[in-house]
C-alpha cells in the first residue's frame, strides 16, 4: 500500500515485468525490506528479523479490527484483497491460527515476489492465494467472511474499482452476520470524504474512519451484525491484551481516537 513518507536507500533491486508493463522493485535499508511498483510509493515493508510483524503504521491500524471484535476466536475467516508484502496475511496466519485466509491478488509477479522476498507462507488448509481481480472476485463469490481487508493500489496509488459503491455493496453481501470491512484509504493523494460516503451508503451508515496516520493513510471500518460499541476504557484493555498476545501495540491508536470526534461520550459506536 502506498506510503510516500519512508526514506530509503536501494542496495539491490529485483525487477520483474508485469502484465501491465510495470516493474516491481525490492529495496532494503536498516533491516527493513520495501516493495515498490516502479515508483517512489512504498507498497509494503517487512522488518527482515521479524517478518510476521507489522512494520507500517497503517497495517497496524487495520488490525484494530481485532479490538472492535475482541473475541479470541474472531475472525474464523478472512478475505484479503491486495497481497503486497503479505504483512496482514502473515500477521493473521501467525496470530489467528484457526482462521481460514483467502488472499486475492491481481498480479502474478506480486505473488512471486512475496514468496521470494517477503516470507509469504506456503498455501495449505489455512491459506489460499487466488490470482484474480479483487472486485470481480467479491462480485462473483458466494463465500462469506468474518473480516474483509481491502488494501489494493497500483503504482500511482489508484484503487480503481476497489473504491466504488458497487464494490462496497458486494463486500457487505460477502460478510458474515458479525463481520467487519476494513479499507485502507489514502488521504494525501485525495480526500477520503467521497470514499467514506460510499462506504456509509453501502453499510447504512454503520462505518467510521479513524483519524489519519502520520503517513496520510486513513483506515475505514464498516460493520454488519451486532453493533460495534466499546468504551475507550474497554478498547484500552483489549489493546493491552492484544499487545501481550501478539506484541502489536495499538494504544497509540486509541490515544488518537480519544482526542478526536470519533468517540462522543468516550465511546465508539457504529
**Rounded to whole angstroms, how far apart are CA atoms 255 and 132?**
38
Q: Are residues 178 and 225 in contact, defined by beta-carbon separation less than 8 angstroms? A: yes
How much is the pLDDT for 13? 39
pTM of the prediction?
0.90
How much is the pLDDT for 126? 97
With helix as H, strand as E and coil as C, how does the chain read? CCCCCCCCCCCCCCCCECCCCCECEEEEECCEEEEECCCCCCCEEEECCCCCCCCCHHHHHHCCHHHHCCCCCCCCEEEEECCCCCHHHHHHHHHCCCCEEEEEECCHHHHHHHHHHCCCCCCECCEEEEECCHHHHHHHCCCCEEEEEECCCCCCCCCHHHHCHHHHHHHHHHEEEEEEEEEEEECCCCCCHHHHHHHHHHCCCCEEECCCCCCCEEEEEEECCCCCEEEHHHHHHHHHHHHHHHCCCCHHHHHHHHCCCCCHHHEEEC
Q: Are residues 146 and 76 in contact, defined by beta-carbon separation less than 8 angstroms? A: yes
Kindly tell me if the per-residue pLDDT of 112 is higher than 60.
yes
Specify the domain boundaries for CATH 3.40.50.150 within the chain. Answer: 57-227
Active-site residue identified among 3, 57, 109, 151: 151
Q: Which three cell numbers stand for residue 31?
A: 533491516
Kindly tell me if the per-residue pLDDT of 180 is higher than 80.
yes
Euclidean distance between the first and final Cα of the chain, in Å? 26
**163 counts as catalytic:** no
How much is the pLDDT for 261? 84
How much is the pLDDT for 226? 92
Render pLDDT for 4-27 as a digit per residue (tens, 0 to 9).
Answer: 333 333 333 333 333 334 589 999
**Rounded to whole angstroms, how far apart are CA atoms 223 and 221?**
7
190 band by pLDDT with thresholds 50, 70 and 90: low
How much is the pLDDT for 4? 39
Kindly tell me if the per-residue pLDDT of 157 is higher than 70.
no
38 band by pLDDT with thresholds 50, 70 and 90: confident
Residue 33, phi then psi, degrees to nearest 5: -105, 135
How much is the pLDDT for 188? 52
Q: Which three cell numbers stand for residue 121?
A: 507462507
Nearest residue to 47 via CA among 118, 96, 99, 143: 118
**Rounded to whole angstroms, how far apart are CA atoms 132 and 173?**
19
Choices 3.40.50.150, 3.90.230.10, 3.30.70.3450, 1.10.3720.10: CATH for 57-227:
3.40.50.150
How much is the pLDDT for 148? 98
Taking all residues of the chain, what is their mean pLDDT, rounded to a whole number?
A: 88
Amino acid at each position: 500500500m502506498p506510503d510516500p513518507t519512508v526514506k530509503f536507500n536501494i542496495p539491490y533491486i529485483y525487477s520483474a515485468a508485469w502484465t501491465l508493463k510495470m516493474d516491481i522493485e525490492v529495496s532494503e535499508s536498516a533491516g527493513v525490506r520495501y516493495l515498490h511498483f516502479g515508483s517512489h510509493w512504498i507498497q509494503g515493508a517487512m522488518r527482515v528479523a521479524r517478518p510476521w510483524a507489522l512494520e507500517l503504521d497503517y497495517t497496524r491500524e487495520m488490525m484494530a479490527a481485532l479490538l472492535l471484535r475482541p473475541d479470541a476466536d474472531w475472525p474464523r475467516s478472512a478475505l484479503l484483497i491486495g497481497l503486497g508484502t503479505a504483512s496482514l496475511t502473515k500477521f493473521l496466519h501467525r496470530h489467528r491460527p484457526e482462521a481460514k485466509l483467502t488472499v486475492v491478488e491481481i498480479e502474478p509477479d506480486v505473488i512471486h515476489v512475496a514468496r521470494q522476498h517477503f516470507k509469504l507462507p506456503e498455501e495449505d488448509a489455512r491459506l489460499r492465494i487466488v490470482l484474480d481481480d479483487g472486485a470481480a472476485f467479491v462480485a462473483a463469490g458466494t463465500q462469506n467472511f468474518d473480516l474483509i481487508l481491502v488494501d489494493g493500489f497500483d503504482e500511482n496509488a489508484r484503487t480503481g474499482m476497489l473504491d466504488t459503491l458497487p464494490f462496497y455493496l458486494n463486500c457487505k453481501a460477502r460478510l458474515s452476520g458479525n463481520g467487519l470491512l476494513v479499507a485502507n484509504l489514502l488521504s494525501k493523494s485525495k480526500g477520503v470524504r467521497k470514499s467514506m460516503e460510499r462506504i456509509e451508503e453501502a453499510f447504512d451508515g454503520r462505518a467510521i474512519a479513524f483519524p489519519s496516520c502520520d503517513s496520510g493513510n486513513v483506515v475505514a471500518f464498516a460493520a454488519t451484525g451486532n453493533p460495534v460499541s466499546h468504551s475507550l476504557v474497554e478498547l484500552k484493555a483489549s489493546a493491552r491484551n492484544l499487545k501481550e498476545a501478539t506484541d502489536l501495540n495499538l494504544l497509540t491508536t486509541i490515544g488518537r481516537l480519544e482526542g478526536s470526534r470519533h468517540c462522543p461520550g468516550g465511546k465508539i459506536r457504529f
